[in-house]
């Protein structure tokens, strides 16, 4: 049995099928939720995750710092979700620049009172462009410059989509009875 994550990664780099199964199962529990944030359905999230792990196993030999495997795998999953988005969405919404407003304390309280599944459901109802930017910016912590590069949009579009996505989130919250704003 493998003693630690470093041994697990090294065994995966040697294409050990048992180690690959353990590695896959370890990260499936951790990162399938990330895929669900970027996908419209559970099946789509599974597809993204499967596609990500094909890439991960194909490129695991390029990982130089084994101690950064968690970050590397999560980044690979997010990039795969973005690639999936690019391939499945034929027309991306392009909206003008609006200033980005921060959530008020009251709005953050509303989000904290919702379950993770409720927030995911609300986010998944958003148009694709808004959903992608909200996931990348608010949840995964990317900058607008990073998002612009990843999605092939301008920083202004990223900021605008974040702002408008937040507005739509507020409206959805009000629809489900959280009109405490």
For residue range 87-127, what is the model confidence (pLDDT) as tens digits?
Answer: 765 333 333 222 223 444 444 455 556 666 777 778 888 88
Mean pLDDT, residues 149-166 taken together: 89
Average pLDDT over the chain, rounded to whole? 79
* Confidence band of 38 (pLDDT split at 50, 70, 90): confident
173 vs 43 pLDDT, higher one: 43
Asked if pLDDT for residue 8 goes beyond 80, the answer is: yes
Summarised one tens digit per residue, pLDDT across range 39-53 is 888 888 999 999 999
Domain limits, CATH 1.10.1740.10, in the chain: 5-88
Give pLDDT, residue 56.
Answer: 95
Residue 163's contacts (CB-CB under 8 Å, 6 or more residues apart) are: 98, 99, 100, 101
pLDDT, residue 94, reads 31
Whether residue 82 contacts residue 151, with contact meaning beta carbons closer than 8 Å, is answered with: yes
Cα 23 to chain centroid distance, Å, stands at: 20
Structure tokens at 67: 């101690």
Tokens of residue 2, six digits: 């493998």
137 in Cβ contact with 158 (< 8 Å): yes
What is the percent of the chain where pLDDT is above 90? 31
State the architecture of 105-175 in CATH terms. Answer: Orthogonal Bundle (1.10)
- Residue 181 to residue 176: CA distance in whole angstroms: 13
Q: Which segments of the chain belong to CATH 1.10.10.10?
A: 105-175
Average the pLDDT over 170-179 and give the result: 67
The torsion defined by the Cα of 102, 138, 154 and 73, in degrees rounded to 10, comes to 160
Multiple choice CATH, 5-88, 3.40.50.2000, 1.10.1740.10, 2.60.40.420, 3.30.420.60: 1.10.1740.10
Span 150-164, average pLDDT: 89
Q: Is 171 helix (H, G, I), strand (E, B) or coil?
A: helix
SS3 call for 89: coil
- What is the mean predicted confidence (pLDDT) over 54-77? 92
**Which burial class, exposed, middle or buried, applies to 67 when counting CB atoms under 10 A from its CB (0-12, 13-18, 19+)?**
exposed
Query: Left if phi > 0, otherwise alpha if psi is -120 to 50, otherwise beta: which for 153?
Result: beta
Q: Mutual orientation of helices 155-175 and 105-113 as an angle, nearest 10°?
A: 60
Tokens 């199964």, located at residue: 21
Report percent pLDDT > 70 for the chain.
78
């Amino acid at each position: 049995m493998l003693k630690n994550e470093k041994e697990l990664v090294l065994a995966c780099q040697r294409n050990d099928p048992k180690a690959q199964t353990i590695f896959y199962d370890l990260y499936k529990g951790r990162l399938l939720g990330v895929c669900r944030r970027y996908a419209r359905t559970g099946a789509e999230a599974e597809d993204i995750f499967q596609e990500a792990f094909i890439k991960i196993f194909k490129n695991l030999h390029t990982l130089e710092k084994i101690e950064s495997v968690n970050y590397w795998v999560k980044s690979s999953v997010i990039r795969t979700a973005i690639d999936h988005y690019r391939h499945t969405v034929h027309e991306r919404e392009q909206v003008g620049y609006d200033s980005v407003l921060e959530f008020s304390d009251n709005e953050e309280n509303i989000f904290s009172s919702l379950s993770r599944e409720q927030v995911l459901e609300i986010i998944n109802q958003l148009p694709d462009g808004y959903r992608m930017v909200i996931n990348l910016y608010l949840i995964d912590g990317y900058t607008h410059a990073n998002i612009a590069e990843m999605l092939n949009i301008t920083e202004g579009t990223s900021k605008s989509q974040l702002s408008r996505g937040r507005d739509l989130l507020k409206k959805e919250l009000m629809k489900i009875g959280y009109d405490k704003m």
